Amino acid sequence: MENSLSERDKQVIWHPYTPQKYAATPISIAKGEGAYLIGTDGSRYLDCISSWWVTLHGHGHPYIAEKIYRQALQLEQVIFAGFTHEPAVKLAERLIPLLPGSFSKIFYSDNGSTSVEVAIKMAVQFWWNNSVFNRTKIFAFRDAYHGDTFGAMSVSGKSIFNAAFEAYMFEVIYLDVPRENNLEKNKELIDEFGAETACFIYEPLLQGAGGMNMYEAAQMDLLLNYIRSKEIICISDEVLTGFGRTGSMFAGEKIQNKADIICLSKGLTGGTMALGVTACTAEIHEAYLTDDRSKTFFHGHSFTANPIACSAALASLDLLTEISCQDQIKMIHRKHLEFGKKISGAGLHEGLVQNFRVLGTIVAFELNSTEKNYLNQSAAGLTSAALEHFIFIRPLGNTIYLMPPFCITSNELDTVYDTLIGLLQKNAR
């Protein structure tokens, strides 16, 4: 008898973020359709986390698929040093006016982590190119997550994600996520190290992998005002928050102080292709306009500005800017707020469920626990129970969150909410 796909997988595949000794048998997926992942056995799972936060318009969207197909027939790949192509230029032309700030140039890479690597190197070399050699330190937020490559790990918070590599990472000075009572504490660190600091990298309004931590734009503006007074380059990591996730096109639209460099990926292509973008202001780019060839930005990727990926991104932008998509984003936000009322009405709020919060299309809360971290397994049972109801969630420790594709319907959201409330009530008994 031929082994199933899941059994074959376990013989040869090492999955990400998966403890190897206790790895569960993976679910075999044959097809994606709208908000659903369809198993090889025909089961239909409602994808409530957009397949790791990337899928905007649903799986197998025919419009994006058609654009990918047409581009693959015309030009599938070309070296991007010394060559260019229409999809890359057109995407940059469309992105720059949409970005929250005065951006001038687009640098392409492969994914969110590499877009952060580009941003850090771009900022650090800016000072080096300008013969300012004491600006070597970096500010970042505690509990941040910016990726799994070494530079991105270095500017992420110290955690189990990177503990084994701490000796290999460069120095970072950690600020607290801005709250009403911690500005002065942050100012003390900025005063102490600001003159030596090259850049500050932050996730605007939402720390994703850190536990869906949300914070207010007004508090962020106070912090950015002070950081900008020290002439520190500001890098906004919108890999997760970009393209409608927080309600607006970009989270940075809600913050008055704009970034000098911005990082994009995940929803950039609607979740269909790997692509990263790092955009910078004219001032940053000007440091590289020099006759000195040693001051070139020596960075690139084999698949930089892949034409198929750029075409997918253009197609995703077409869909994202349609009124119907914007209406869906508003609907999801409204339904999440109603979900909070349902949880409260079910007697779960501030009991089993704590810290209920909503930002755009994202809703999150914690299961009652004294420990909030990635290794907390108090939500593991909820994950498996939800799968029995064909609903796919993937908690961050004891943080439960939903981040559905924009194509999800009101009725489908009600099904998810009612199922979760029922499971939580069962768990509370």
Please give the Cα distance from 391 to 386 (Å, whole number). Answer: 5
Contact 156, 172 (CB under 8 A): no
Based on the residue annotation, tell me whether 215 is a catalytic residue of this protein: no
Which of 45, 108, 145, 401 is catalytic? The answer is 145
Which of 17, 63, 69, 168 is catalytic? The answer is 17
Which of 137, 258, 266, 335 is catalytic? The answer is 266
Please give the Cα distance from 99 to 248 (Å, whole number). Answer: 11
3-state SS string for the chain = CCCCHHHHHHHHCCCCCCCCCCCCCCCCEEEEEECEEEECCCCEEEECCHHHHCCCCCECCHHHHHHHHHHHHHCCCCCCCCCCCHHHHHHHHHHHHHCCCCEEEEEEECCHHHHHHHHHHHHHHHHHHCCCCCCCEEEEECCCCCCCCHHHHHCCCCCCCCHHHHHHCCCCEEECCCCCCCHHHHHHHHHHHHHHEEEEEECCCEECCCCCEECCHHHHHHHHHHHHCCCCEEEEECCCCCCCCCCCCCHHHHCCCCCCEEEECHHHHCCCCCCEEEEEEHHHHHCCCCCCHHHCCCCCCCCCCCHHHHHHHHHHHHHHCCHHHHHHHHHHHHHHHHHHHHHHHCCCECCCEEEEEEECCEEEEEECCCCCCCCCCCCHHHHHHHHHCCEECCCECCEEEECCCCCCCHHHHHHHHHHHHHHHHHHHC
Q: Per DSSP, what are the bridge partners of residue 237?
A: 263
Based on the residue annotation, tell me whether 108 is a catalytic residue of this protein: no
Based on the residue annotation, tell me whether 330 is a catalytic residue of this protein: no
Which of 237, 254, 335, 372 is catalytic? The answer is 237
Please give the Cα distance from 167 to 224 (Å, whole number). Answer: 30
Based on the residue annotation, tell me whether 187 is a catalytic residue of this protein: no
Residues known to be catalytic: 17, 145, 237, 266
